[in-house]
Amino acid sequence: MAQTIKRPFRSFNGTDWDKHYFETSEDMLVNATQSLAEIGYRKLPGGLILQWGWYVLPETNINGLTGYTATLPISFPNKPLNLSATISHFGDTHNIAKEIEIAANAVTKSQIGLRWVQNGTPPAGQISINWIAIGN
> How does pLDDT run along the chain (136 residues), one tens digit per residue?
556 667 778 888 888 888 887 776 655 555 668 888 999 999 988 889 999 999 887 766 566 667 888 999 999 999 899 998 888 776 655 556 556 677 888 889 999 988 887 766 666 667 788 899 999 9
Would you say domain 31-135 falls under CATH 3.40.50.150?
Answer: no
Amino acid occupying residue 15: T
Q: Where are the domains of the chain?
A: 31-135
Distance CA(75)–CA(108), nearest Å, equals 9
pTM given for the model: 0.70
pLDDT value of residue 94: 53
Amino acid occupying residue 50: L
pLDDT value of residue 27: 58
- Asked if residue 133 lies in contact with residue 51, where contact means CB atoms within 8 angstroms, the answer is yes
